């Protein structure tokens, strides 16, 4: 089924959303290098079209998103402002979780973002639980969980796929296939690297999508949400993309063959969209104006978070449940 091309304003919206994520991550890398942010940090540079397109397709007043620990992009695309997100990563009391979650464990349910998870693949069974609840509470909610390509080899992932299929749960299972499972190419880990095909074993509607096309992602996720919301069961989408940074900050990426990063930089979604905008009649002046606005927004948010008070260590045991 062909997809009508969106208008320039829609494409510009995608551009601003993706650029906001990219500039945020670049600032996070800088802050991590200065020590303003500590601990493990996993950036998502290069995968911005996945988050922008997917979140644009959902109804975040009721739908639920469950990202991986590479979750800054998902959080911003869900609508969380940059300031409290920066503050969370810096351990400030103004953070979205009061500085308790940090980079890998933050959550913002008021924006439809129900928390990252550092257990590889754990988002699938958690999202299946949220989808199961939706079949009882009348909310009409669709749950979306995202994992990386390597997580498709986890047993709990396949248990979740089977359970969701058997119960016809309203859940979208999304694979961010950036070709590397941490430091190992996915093609060297599995015999068949078309991961979406695994869904057919469970009777799940599945497809492989260009994850660098935000509008294509939006259309695919919207169709999946309609399918799931109508009681037709889960959908598995494999989104092909790339990360143009290491798996974690400090990753020297020695495992990349010569020319691999350069190839990824040529395919990354923001530059590709800028070219498309210019070919479609957008002005360079308009693009530059929006770019400056986003960069100023991120700079202001970062500066404000850096001057915010740190979280009180005496409150560390608050909001803990067992």
What is the CATH classification number for the domain harbouring 51? 3.40.50.970
The phi and psi torsions of 298 (rounded to 5 degrees) equal -70, -40
- Residue 67's SS3 state is coil
Residue 187 lies in a domain: no
**Residue 72: which domain range?**
8-180+200-302
Q: Is the dihedral of CA 81, 295, 55, 127 positive or negative?
A: negative
pLDDT at 322: 73
> Percent of the chain, pLDDT > 90?
88
- The structure's pTM equals 0.95
Residue 215 lies in a domain: yes
CA gap 71, 182 in Å, rounded = 15
Q: Give the residues across from 299 on adjacent strands.
A: none
Residue 152 lies in a domain: yes
Residue 322 lies in a domain: no
- Residue 208's SS3 state is strand
Task: Write b or e for each residue in 11-44: b if 16 or more Cβ atoms lie within 10 A of its Cβ, otherwise e.
Answer: bbbbbbbbbbbbbbbebbbebbeeebbeeebbbb
Residue 320 lies in a domain: no
CA gap 54, 251 in Å, rounded = 28
Residue 317 lies in a domain: no
Q: What is the pLDDT of residues 33-85, one digit of tens each?
A: 999 999 999 999 999 999 999 999 999 999 999 999 999 999 999 999 999 99
Strands 184-185 and 205-210: unpaired
pLDDT at 3: 66
Average pLDDT (142-149) is: 97
Residue 203 is classified by DSSP as T
Q: What is the pLDDT of residues 20-36, one digit of tens each?
A: 999 999 999 999 999 99
State the total domains in the chain.
1
Lowest mean pLDDT among 3-7, 245-249, 255-259, 283-287: 3-7
Residue 210 lies in a domain: yes
pLDDT at 209: 96
Residue 192 lies in a domain: no
Residues 58, 221 contacting (CB under 8 angstroms): yes
Residue 76: C-alpha distances to residues 31, 45, 83, 186 (Å): 18, 13, 11, 27
């Amino acid at each position: 089924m062909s997809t009508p091309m969106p208008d320039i304003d829609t494409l510009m919206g995608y551009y601003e959303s993706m650029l906001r994520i990219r500039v945020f991550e670049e600032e996070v890398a800088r802050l991590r290098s200065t020590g303003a942010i500590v601990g493990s940090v996993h950036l998502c540079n290069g995968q911005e079209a996945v988050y922008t397109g997917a979140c644009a397709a959902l109804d975040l007043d009721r739908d639920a998103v469950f990202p991986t620990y590479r979750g800054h992009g998902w959080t911003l695309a869900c609508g969380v402002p940059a300031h409290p997100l920066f503050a969370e990563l810096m351990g400030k009391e103004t953070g979205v979780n009061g500085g308790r979650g940090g980079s890998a464990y933050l959550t913002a349910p008021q924006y439809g973002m129900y928390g990252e998870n550092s257990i590889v693949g754990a988002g699938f069974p958690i999202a299946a639980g949220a989808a199961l609840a939706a079949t009882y509470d009348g909310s009409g909610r669709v749950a979306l969980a995202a994992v990386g390509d390597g997580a498709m080899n986890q047993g709990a992932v396949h248990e979740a796929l089977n359970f969701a299929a058997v119960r016809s749960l309203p859940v979208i299972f999304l694979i961010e296939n950036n070709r590397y499972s941490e430091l190992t190419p996915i093609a060297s880990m599995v015999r068949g690297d078309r991961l979406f095909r695994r869904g057919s074993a469970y009777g799940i509607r599945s497809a492989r999508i260009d994850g660098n096309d935000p509008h294509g992602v939006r259309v695919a996720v919207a169709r999946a949400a309609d399918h799931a919301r109508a009681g037709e069961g889960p959908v598995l989408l494999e989104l092909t993309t790339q990360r143009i940074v290491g798996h974690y900050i400090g990753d020297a990426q020695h495992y990349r063959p010569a020319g691999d990063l350069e190839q990824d930089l040529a395919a990354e979604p923001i530059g590709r969209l800028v070219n498309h905008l210019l070919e479609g009649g957008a002005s360079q002046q308009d693009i530059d104006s929006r770019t400056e606005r986003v960069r100023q927004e991120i700079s202001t948010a970062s500066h404000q978070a850096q001057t915010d008070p740190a979280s009180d260590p005496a409150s560390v045991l608050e909001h803990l449940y067992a």
